[in-house]
Amino acid sequence: MQTISVSSDLKGIEIAKEKLYEAVDKKTVLYLSGGRTPAPLYRKFAKDPPAGRQEKLFRPGAVAIVDERWGKPMHGNSNEKMIKDVGFWDYLKTNGVPFYGVLENKSLTETAKDYDETVRYLLKWFPKNFAVLGMGSDGHIASIPAGNEKLRTKNEKLVEEFDDFPGEQKERISLTFNALSQMDQIFLLVFGNDKKKALKAMFADGPIEEIPARFLNTPQVTDKVLLITDQKV
């Protein structure tokens, strides 16, 4: 796992923006996570290109979602609504970049199944697949909760439904470890003192079921992960 240490979250977001501008092109699907950490990055994609690159549009081949809070399309707590609120959804629409959302006025199970088919299509037809991830203070990534029995067996699905995620919004849809293992690069953004304990646990020995972020430190994916953090590693 490559690590870039930064002095602040603002500096980390700037570096992530630069790295993604360099790596992403029309052959790339960019999968976006929700949460507070990556939201400023998406805002910068839409409104603040890197210095000296004002003439270059940030234009992936497609944008999709890493995880979502289940409910009606564009509901108030959805990640797709957050992406719209920061201006990135409109930016993609203006520049002709397809956006593959999750929510579709169906049951949790049907929505997860349909999105699994979408992700299979994207992995088949786009040669590069990148994901932006944050990490919760409990060590979760995407919307994969710690201790879930679905983590204890080999899961061939690319998308899984969960109905026991901690907090108010328990019903979630998320890319699985299997899907994340098929990413060509994963940008992991970890900022804030509240993440210090979880970050330390990610690098410690122990079951992935206890700390889902430990999956990113396994031989399957660790060479694909770029960790950008303001915490000591």
Give me the phi and psi of 13, to 5 degrees please. -65, -40
Give me the phi and psi of 69, to 5 degrees please. -85, 120
For residues 63 and 91, what is the distance between their CA atoms, to the nearest angstrom?
A: 11
For residues 196 and 68, what is the distance between their CA atoms, to the nearest angstrom?
A: 25
The count of domains in the chain is 1
Pairing of strands 159-162, 172-175: antiparallel
pLDDT at 152: 56
Tell me if 30 is assigned to some domain: yes
pTM: 0.94
- Average pLDDT, integer, range 157-174: 90
For residues 79 and 81, what is the distance between their CA atoms, to the nearest angstrom?
A: 5
Question: The domain spanning residue 101 has which CATH number?
Answer: 3.40.50.1360
Would you give the DSSP letter of residue 75? -
Lowest mean pLDDT among 6-15, 44-53, 152-161: 44-53
Tell me if 136 is assigned to some domain: no
Region for 57 from its dihedrals, namely left if φ exceeds 0, alpha if ψ lies in -120 to 50, beta otherwise: beta
Lowest mean pLDDT among 79-83, 130-134, 168-172: 168-172
Tell me if 115 is assigned to some domain: yes
Tell me if 198 is assigned to some domain: no
228 pLDDT more than 70: yes
Tell me if 202 is assigned to some domain: no
Tell me if 85 is assigned to some domain: yes
Neighbouring C-beta atoms of residue 218, cutoff 10 Å: 12
Q: Which of 126, 106, 123, 122 is nearest to 114 (CA)?
A: 106
Asked if residues 163 and 170 have their Cβ atoms less than 8 Å apart, the reply is yes
53 pLDDT more than 70: no
For residues 83 and 131, what is the distance between their CA atoms, to the nearest angstrom?
A: 15
- Average pLDDT, integer, range 47-63: 72
pLDDT at 52: 56
Q: What is the pLDDT of residues 108-125, one digit of tens each?
A: 999 999 999 999 999 999
SS3 (DSSP) at 219: coil
Domain range for 69: 2-49+58-130+142-170+183-193+217-225
Tell me if 200 is assigned to some domain: no
Lowest mean pLDDT among 12-16, 162-166, 176-180, 198-202: 162-166
Asked if residues 188 and 133 have their Cβ atoms less than 8 Å apart, the reply is yes
Tell me if 25 is assigned to some domain: yes
